[in-house]
Structure 1
Amino acid sequence: MTPALAARPDTPSPAAPVGPEPKHTTRPSRVIGVGTAVTEHSYTQGDLLDLFDITDPRVRSIFLNSAIERRHLTLPPRDSDGTFVRETQKDLLAKHTRLALDMGARAVRTCLDDAGLDLADIDYLCCVTTTGFLTPGLSALLIKDMGISPGTSRVDVVGMGCNAGLNALNATAAWSMAHPGQVAVLLCAEACSAAYVMDATLRTSVVNSLFGDGAAAIALRADPPDAAGPAPDALPDGAGAQAGPRLLGFASHLITDAIGAMRYDWDDSQHKFSFYLDPDIPYVVGAHAERVVDRLLDGAGLRRSDIAHWLVHSGGKKVIDAVRVNLGLTRHDLRHTTEVLRDYGNLSSGSFLFSYERLLQEGRARAGDYGVLMTMGPGSTIETALVQW
């Protein structure tokens, strides 16, 4: 794969207006709550090398130079002699269902608590996952298991990969704006422990060194035009930051020349799916990051220097570095991204929401601040969103 891929003209995607909303129109969707959850057990990279008795110096180097200190994983059961049992694809699908339902329910409840809501307030549920296929989908199973109203509108986004959280956020925000006053919840639930092939090849070692289990949920609501109180733009400086940011617009870019750089293949020798990552993908993503980010900002009349907060998918050390260099960002700009990678690994579609939660906990977002959300994944795809507190 050649990192410098040929440029093609893009057709700008319309972004929601950044200034005061016109009268008699719905205000943009606003984030009103966030929650995350992980699985029970976590391991250092050294723990995993020892547990699986990995001695190949090349594989050990991949694990130990990943900028990941610890990940949450659900390892296979052990047999009587202490060795890990080989999980079939059927076993992995059952694990995916169990972990996604458990983590997903906890993330949704935490999100609702953060928003001051309960299960009865959910009007729309969008569930994202790539680590297993379910029919009926995760949304239906969660509605049944959690006791959410069976009249709740729902959609499942399956198989889009690490970028899918922003694809789904775009659709969820659109539903929210079309139903002002109602609550929309987006859940990203990724049981990456259910998507591993355990062998000693370099191909699988890259994947096995990177991903972790995690789920993240975010709640949105759009106020109707006649809602009581001033519009967010009318608030004095510093007021209203804790209400959460408005979603102003989205921009996407599909790198068609790298369509196979991240993919699931069927492994005949293992009788299960195996994920593939092209070693050049960090450089390919980095080379295209400027184009989609600048298109996102141009639509709002902004420059990169106007952005106070950057929340980027924790795709891996090389991916983060490539994005940082190509966008001219500092390590401080991407501190939450690198911290999430360090503490959890790559959490696939929900990674950027773990970074968003950390930004809120830091308490540095102020009313009027702009932020850019960015995810990358199979396609190869870069997704972005512009938000304002």
Structure 2
Amino acid sequence: MKSYICAIGTANPTVCIPQMQIAGFMADALGFDAAETRKLQALYRVSGIEQRFTVLEDYNKSVGDFTFFPNTANLEPFPTVKSRMALYKQHALDLSVAAILDCLNQIPEVTLASITHLVTVSCTGMYAPGLDIEILEELLLPSTIQRTAINFMGCYAAFNGLKVADNICQSNPKAKVLIVCTEICTIHFQKHKEPDHLVSNALFGDGAAAVLMQARPTESTCLQIESFHCDLVPAGKKDMAWHISDFGFEMTLSSYVPEMIKKGIRQLTNNLLASLNTNFSDINLFAIHPGGRKILECIEHELGLTKHHNRYAYEILRHFGNMSSATVLFVLKAMLESLGTEHHNEPVLSFAFGPGLTLESMLTRVHYV
């Protein structure tokens, strides 16, 4: 029995800020001099990002007009975890519901009342009773829905949500599983000058994505799940990490990560395809998590891909930045929207990466009605 990704919905906050404007905010917040500011601006220019969405209007303002950060030159007292989690709770539900409605509007034959399982995914905030219960209450979903929360796994967590849904659908042919990845990354700005913090501040944006999975295809274009494969690169354990500090969640993202992904990506691909009747040369559709421009370039170099192969990832990176777990679903949606009858039965290869260093892969197949 196969399961199918039947629809993907997405949502973002209303505040959209040009990348170079965010660079100016960061330079001021970090107290950079002219030389440091030029280096920071260069980092932002080569990021491959043109704009990002955020729940924080402060990134679009100057000291004196802030509503979240203190109106002081050094932003002290710096916001605590408590204040950041309050902001997460304030916005997570609206983003999640918007993504869910965008998803289900694509498949009118699937109603809210027919949903049997809900999987929530996030690494940027948590509380209990949590987002899953709030979604049930807001959308008047049945209280008997089976709920699963996948928390704090980072940028690859959407794959774990898809795996859970795949297992549910294979064991219950009548299941309709809703997966919601909601990430509000920009509330975790850290006022550090170390290179890994400068890079993470330059990459992340806010967004949510929702997926409907079931054991049969709908009348729209679907993705049939073929297989998953996961691996670890223990040498990268300290180079990509996510920790809770007194003043928010701190991301470690060293410059070595792209090379580590490059070294492991070919074996990951070979292992995924080994048990399937698919050769790498047969694959022309790719949906890769754009963890950063350098990561995409390293994968292209190692697997012999072109920028055209990676066009969906670059498009999402350019317009949204890295939205952690939701990002690869944005990429899959962009790809799905471009497909036609000629793509029926074509394989799609997807990757995502996160703390560990974790390498996730998934092979799906286009099902076009």
Provide the TM-score with structure 2 as the length reference. 0.88
Q: 2:309 aligns with which of 309, 333, 337?
A: 333
Residue 90 of structure 1 aligns with which residue? 82
2:287 is aligned to: 311
Give 1:45's aligned amino acid.
Q
Counterpart in 1 of 2:19?
Answer: 45
SS at match of 2:267: helix
- Give the C-alpha shift of residue 260 in structure 1: 2.0
SS in 2 for 1:97: helix
Q: Deviations over 1:249-298 (max 9, x none)?
A: 11111112212221123556xx3331111210011011100111111111
Partner Cα separation in structure 2 for residue 129 and residue 272 of structure 1: 15
Would the aligned equivalents of 2:117 and 2:178 in 1 still touch at CA under 8 Å? yes
Equivalent residue pairs, number: 346
- Partners of 2:363 and 2:215 lie apart in 1 by 16
Give the C-alpha shift of residue 79 in structure 1: 9.1
Kindly provide the amino acid, as one letter, of the partner of residue 39 in structure 1. Answer: P
Q: How does 1:63-82 map onto structure 2 within 5 Å?
A: 63-75=44-56, 77=58, 81-82=64-65
Q: Distance in 1 between matches of 2:197 and 2:16?
A: 20
Q: Tell me which amino acid in the other structure corresponds to 1:48.
A: I
Greater alpha carbon shift after TM alignment, 49-58 vs 323-332: 49-58
CA contact (8 A) 1:132 1:195 kept: no
Residue among 167, 176, 183 paired with 2:176: 183
Match of 1:18 in 2: none
Deviation string 1:142-201 (CA, Å, 9 cap, x unpaired) is: 112222111101100001000111122111111011110221111111111222213444
Counterpart AA for 1:40: T
**Cα–Cα, structure 1 residues 69 and 139, in superposed 2: closer, same or farther, change >3 Å?**
same
What pairs with 1:336-375 in structure 2 (closer than 5 Å)? 336-364=312-340, 366-375=343-352
Match of 1:259 in 2: 237
The runs of 5 or more residues in structure 2 that have no matched partner are 71-77
SS class of match (1:288): helix
Per-residue deviation, 1:376: 0.7
> After superposition, what is the alpha-carbon deviation per residue over 1:7-54, rounded to whole angstroms, capped at 9, x for unaligned?
xxxxxxxxxxxxxxxxxxxx2001111100001111111111233436
> Which of residues 121, 130, 138 in structure 1 aligns to 2:131?
138
Structure 1: how far apart are the matches of 2:235 and 2:25? 39
Rounded to whole Å, the distance in 2 between the matches of 1:304 and 1:241 is 29
Task: Quote the residue 1:17 is aligned against.
Answer: none
Q: Distance in 1 between matches of 2:140 and 2:299?
A: 42
Identity fraction in percent: 27
RMSD: 2.0
2:233 aligned with 1:250:
no
Give the partner amino acid of 1:75.
L
Q: Is the 8 A contact 2:19 2:51 kept in 1?
A: yes
Cα distance in 2, alignment partners of residues 372 and 165 from structure 1: 15
CA shift for structure 1 position 69 = 0.4
Query: Structure 1 residue 347: deviation in Å?
Result: 1.1
Matches of 1:315 and 1:50, distance apart in 2? 22
CA distance in 1 between partners of 2:243 and 2:229 (Å): 29
Deviations 1:108-163 (A, max 9, x none): 11111112222112111101100012223321221122221111011000010001
Q: Which amino acid is the alignment partner of residue 198 of structure 2?
A: S
Query: Superposition pairs for residues 112-131 of structure 1, below 5 Å?
Result: 112-116=104-108, 117-131=110-124
One-letter amino acid of the structure 1 residue matched with residue 344 of structure 2: A
Residue 314 (structure 1) shift:
1.1
Cα 1:31/1:80, change in 2 over 3 Å: closer
1:25-44 equivalence runs, <5 A: 27-44=1-18
Contact 2:195 2:254 in 1 (8 A): no
Moved more, 75-84 or 54-63: 75-84
Shift of 1:216: 0.6
Provide the residue aligned with 2:74 in structure 1: none
Q: Which moved more, 1:254-263 or 1:373-382?
A: 254-263
Q: What is the distance in 2 between the residues matched to 1:73 and 1:243?
A: 31
Matched letter for residue 162 of structure 1: C
- The one-letter code matched in structure 2 to 1:94 is A
| AA matched with 1:49 | A
Alpha-carbon distance in 1 for matches of 2:305, 2:194: 35
Between stretches 358-367 and 342-351, larger displacement belongs to: 358-367
- Taking the aligned partners of 1:358 and 1:273, their CA distance within structure 2 comes to 29
2:73 — aligned with what? Answer: none
Q: Helix, strand or coil for the counterpart of 1:81?
A: coil
Select the residue among 353, 357, 367 that pairs with 1:376: 353
> Does residue 100 of structure 1 match 2:92?
yes
Candidates 300, 312, 315, aligned match of 2:276: 300
Point out the more displaced range, 53-62 or 87-96.
53-62
Whether the 8 Å CA contact 1:314–1:347 is kept in 2: the answer is no
3-state SS of the aligned residue for 1:209?
Answer: helix
Contact 2:15 2:57 in 1 (8 A): no
Counterpart CA distance in 2 for 1:190 and 1:267 is: 18
> Do 2:103 and 2:212's aligned partners in 1 also have CA atoms closer than 8 Å?
yes
Does 131-140 or 304-313 show the bigger shift?
A: 131-140
**SS across alignment from 2:190:** coil
Report the alpha carbon displacement of residue 76 of structure 1 after superposing the two structures with TM. Answer: 6.0
Whole-Å separation in 2 of the counterparts to 1:142 and 1:194? 21
Q: Tell me the secondary structure at the aligned position of residue 116 of structure 2.
A: strand
Inter-partner Cα distance in structure 1 for 2:164 and 2:128: 21
